[in-house]
Amino acid sequence: MPDAAQPAADEKVRSESPLHVAIIMDGNGRWAAARGLPRAEGHRRGVEALRRVVRAANELGILHLTIFSFSSENWSRPASEIGDLFGLLRRFIRNDLATLHRDGVRVRVIGEREGLEPDICALLGEAEELTRANTRLNLVVAFNYGSRQEIARAAQRLAREAAQGQRDPASIDADTLGRYLDAPDIPDPDLIIRTSGEQRLSNFLMWQAAYSELVFVPMHWPDFDKAALESAIAEYSTRERRFGGLVAKTGS
């Protein structure tokens, strides 16, 4: 249960902040290269940025923060870099889980769990289990995640139910498929931020991003901080969200 000092959920709903912010944390390698450092150092500094941003998101009253941590396509990187990234995830969970829990953060993980090393799966499961009852901020970690793969998994489950006669194919609409994605209870992101100047989704939340506002910032992820998050939110608040209609509205 959140303590009395924390903003109540309805207070957050009335705030100007987007309720769900999703971040493509990009540019660790270029940050390091620009300083003559190994890419691993960029990733290590990226974890520090993540810590800052989770804290800031909590302070700013964001309810859901999704972070792109490792993509289905990142397996094409050299094994040593994959090892560095997995090592950092292990360390992040081991070192930060207690703090996240204390701060009322619920950890959720989206992406393909199968094929991951058993100790990584165990750590992810432990983080989800320990923080299950927390309500202040959902931290959704997209790990071994790809949007096409997520949609394909959902389609497969629906097809299996149809083949077993448990579902009429004609009943499958967009809402149905949405309920078979990895975190169906988390609302679509209001704001998606990508750092490092790249302007693409790279297979991140493509279904859920249908009406998200996209903000691309030139800075590399290790430099990202609360001020940068606030500035992206300020940009978001200037956007007029129409959802295909004529009446402007904000929030999701």
Residues designated as active site: 26, 74
> In this chain, which stretch among 115-123, 126-134, 161-169, 195-203 interacts with ligand IPE, using CB under 6 A?
195-203
- At 215, list the tokens: 């903000």
Among 28, 66, 144, 212, binds ligand IPE (CB under 6 A): 28
Smallest gap from Cβ 194 to ligand IPE, in A, equals 8
DSSP structural state of residue 99: H
189: nearest Cα among 64, 55, 60, 59:
64
Binding segment (CB under 6 A) for ligand IPE, from list 25-33, 103-111, 168-176, 211-219: 25-33
Rounded to a whole number of angstroms, the minimum distance from the CB of residue 88 to ligand IPE is 9
Q: Is 111 in the site for ligand IPE (CB under 6 A)?
A: no
Smallest gap from residue 34 Cβ to ligand IPE (A): 9
| Residue 24 is a binding residue for ligand IPE (CB under 6 A) | yes
Is residue 70 within the footprint of ligand IPE (CB under 6 A)?
yes
Coil, strand or helix at 24:
strand
Determine whether 247 is exposed, middle or buried from the number of CB atoms within 10 Å of its CB (0-12, 13-18, 19+): exposed
Asked if 82 contacts 102 with a C-beta cutoff of 8 angstroms, the reply is: no
CB 230 within 8 A of CB 60: yes
Q: 18 vs 42, which CB is nearer to Mg ion?
A: 42
- The region of 14-22, 26-34, 172-180, 243-251 touching ligand IPE under the rule CB under 6 A is 26-34
Which positions from 74 through 103 interact with ligand IPE, judged by CB under 6 A? 74, 85
User: The tokens of 22 are what?
Assistant: 């999703």
- Rounded Cα gap, residues 214 and 199, in angstroms: 9
| Closer Cβ to Mg ion, 26 or 150, answer by number | 26
Taking the complex as a whole, how short is the minimal distance between the CB of residue 215 and ligand IPE, in angstroms?
Answer: 15
Question: C-beta of 119: minimal distance to ligand IPE in Å?
Answer: 19
Q: In what order do the strands lie in the sheet with 105-110?
A: 105-110, 137-145, 64-71, 20-24, 191-194, 213-216
Residues in touch with Mg ion (CB under 5 A):
26
Which one of 17, 60, 68, 147 is in contact with ligand IPE (CB under 6 A)? 68
Nearer to ligand IPE, 74 or 149 (CB): 74
Task: Determine if 198 is a binding residue for ligand IPE (CB under 6 A).
Answer: yes
Handedness of CA 56, 187, 15, 215 (dihedral sign): positive
d(CA 220, CA 216): 11
Count Cα atoms within 13 angstroms, Cβ side, for 240.
6
Q: Do residues 23 and 195 make contact, with C-beta atoms less than 8 angstroms apart?
A: yes
Residues that bind ligand IPE (CB under 6 A): 24-30, 68-71, 74, 85, 196, 198, 200, 202, 221
